[in-house]
Amino acid sequence: MRLGLIGSGYWARTIHGRSAAQHPQVELVGVWGRDAAKTAAAADELGTRAYPSTAALIADTDALTFAVPPDVQTHIALAAAKAGRHLLLEKPIAISVDDARRLEAAVEQAGLASIVFFTRRFVPETQAWLERLAALGGWECGRAEYASSIFVEGNPFGASPWRHEKGGLWDIGPHALAMLWPLLGEVTSVLAGGGVRDQVHLVLRHAGGASSTLSLSLSVPQSAVGTQVYVYGEHGRETAPSAPADTVAAHQAALDALIALAANPSAGHPCDVHFGARVVEVLAAAEASLADGRAVAIARS
């Protein structure tokens, strides 16, 4: 697969770019970024070519992998989809429901493969845990706590303007949803409340009557950093495996999924653009709930 990299920052270089450069079934054709100097440096580091425009990179590739802010990603991905290119997207796929649905429709109409990089969903131990629990069934409640501390000196994500603006809800909320959704079902409503700094707590209702809670923050004290995901039901309580140590390997698994799906896009994938759009619907509803304090039903396309 001839792959282009969209983005030249830390995550683009160290995860997406390194993964693609090392993948035996991928040719990393080139990289485009918003900063020409950083793009040239990234291309040098990855042993590939710096492209002056997204149009030029799209023209030379079969697929693109994205590591740029969600509002930047959406518009480039729409152009790529219209050109018939497969997409490996970052989460969230957009920061508005309209944009998410627009991208979803473009991918569907063009018959393309799409994967959204919900990191833990591409870790073998996590996937095995989800498959085992889904086969058992009977899960009635769950909780996901993602407590991070990125707004500190030296953190590569701390200077990200969109993370400052949107907080943990939009940055790590998608990861939490991706872990609970397969076991509890689609989210039908959300009630949100805020806390210190960007802290947000969500109470979710799921189809079939299950419920869950999410606690999300990018700004907890460093001594309080931690992540835990669990569900419980008639088979007891089950805690998810810990977060992956090898994120490059997880991205390569996402590339494997994209390559396989490109051969048969109609097969779909649990972490495709359709699921990505559903996640954006939940995040937008949570934002609305934060604004006025009421439970918000999820509006479906």
Residue 37 and residue 112 in one domain: yes
Residue 139 and residue 287 in one domain: yes
Residue 63 and residue 131 in one domain: no
- The pLDDT-based confidence of 301 (bands split at 50, 70, 90) is low
Residue 25 and residue 152 in one domain: no
Return the pLDDT at 300.
77
Q: Mean of the pLDDT values across residues 262-273?
A: 96
Are the CB atoms for 90 and 65 separated by under 8 Å? Answer: no
In total, how many domains does the chain have?
2
> Tens of pLDDT along 34-46?
999 999 999 999 9
Residue 66 and residue 115 in one domain: yes
Return the pLDDT at 147.
96
Tell me, what CATH number does 153's domain have? 3.30.360.10
Read off the tokens for 72: 């930047």
Residue 108 and residue 252 in one domain: yes
Tell me, what CATH number does 28's domain have? 3.40.50.720
Measuring CA to CA, which residue among 9, 171, 205 is closest to residue 92? 171
Residue 114 and residue 175 in one domain: no
d(CA 207, CA 4) in angstroms, rounded, equals 38
Average pLDDT, the chain: 97
Return the pLDDT at 244.
73
Residue 22 and residue 67 in one domain: yes
Read off the tokens for 210: 């299950």
Return the pLDDT at 77.
98
Containing domain of residue 232, as a range? 121-242+279-297
Percent of the chain with pLDDT over 90: 97
Q: Mean of the pLDDT values across residues 280-298?
A: 97
- The pLDDT-based confidence of 8 (bands split at 50, 70, 90) is very high
d(CA 290, CA 173) in angstroms, rounded, equals 14
> Tens of pLDDT along 227-264?
999 999 999 999 999 877 799 999 999 999 999 999 99
Residue 203 and residue 286 in one domain: yes
Query: Which one has a higher pLDDT value, 61 or 242?
Result: 61
> Tens of pLDDT along 139-169?
999 999 999 999 998 899 998 999 999 999 9
Check: pTM over 0.95? Answer yes or no. yes
Residue 230 and residue 256 in one domain: no
Question: Which long-range CB contacts under 8 A does 42-48 form with residues at least 24 apart?
Answer: 42/5, 42/8, 42/12, 42/13, 42/17, 45/13, 45/17, 46/5, 46/13, 46/17, 46/18, 46/20, 46/21, 47/21, 48/5, 48/17, 48/21
Q: Is the pLDDT of residue 57 over 70?
A: yes
Residue 103 and residue 169 in one domain: no
Q: Is the pLDDT of residue 299 over 90?
A: no
Residue 12 and residue 36 in one domain: yes
